[in-house]
A = this chain, B = another copy of it.
């Protein structure tokens, strides 16, 4: 036991048992599998998520829709789309009936990049699943979904 863990004046959980911390470290570990693959193609994980979503989408979605499917917030997505657009991996087309909206589509360059990275990415997933075991993997994703659905009830100050 180290010095820092020895005392606990404030009656708090040690860090290793703190759920947010444990989640962050676990995510960090899994990302260590993927980051090298993506970095080799100058992509961040979020950029990759966007490309992957667009590649899988049969039609060009609007920004809002894309944000929901990639779990990105508007401002982040705006930046990511600017970046990907400059690199010619995606394209934007204004909606005909509503000038506020824009349809985002993946370009041929974008598609071939996805096709290049996809198998490498899959291999990393397989590596993780193997090490963890399919049972534990399924167990974990199930628990994570439950946690993701948790909401604080003390939403005071609701107008």
Contact = CB atoms under 8 A, between A and B. Distances in A.
Contact of A152 (B20, B36, B59, B122): B36
13 contacts: A3-B59, A4-B56, A10-B56, A15-B49, A15-B71, A16-B145, A19-B140, A22-B148, A29-B147, A32-B152, A136-B143, A139-B143, A143-B143
A141 B17 CA distance: 7
Given A4-B61, A146-B136, A151 B20 contact: no
Contacts of A158: none
Interface of A: 2-13, 15-34, 36, 45, 49, 52-53, 55-59, 61, 65, 69-71, 114-115, 118-119, 121-122, 124-125, 127-128, 131-132, 136-137, 139-141, 143-154
Contacts of A58: 3, 6-7
Contacts of A124: 152
B151 A29 contact: yes
A30 B13 CA distance: 15
B69 A15 contact: yes
B57 A4 contact: yes
B56 A148 contact: no
A131 B150 contact: yes
Contact of A24 (B57, B71, B146): B71
A132 B146 contact: yes
A52 B7 contact: no
A40 to B, nearest CB: 11
Contact of A19 (B3, B30, B32, B36): B30
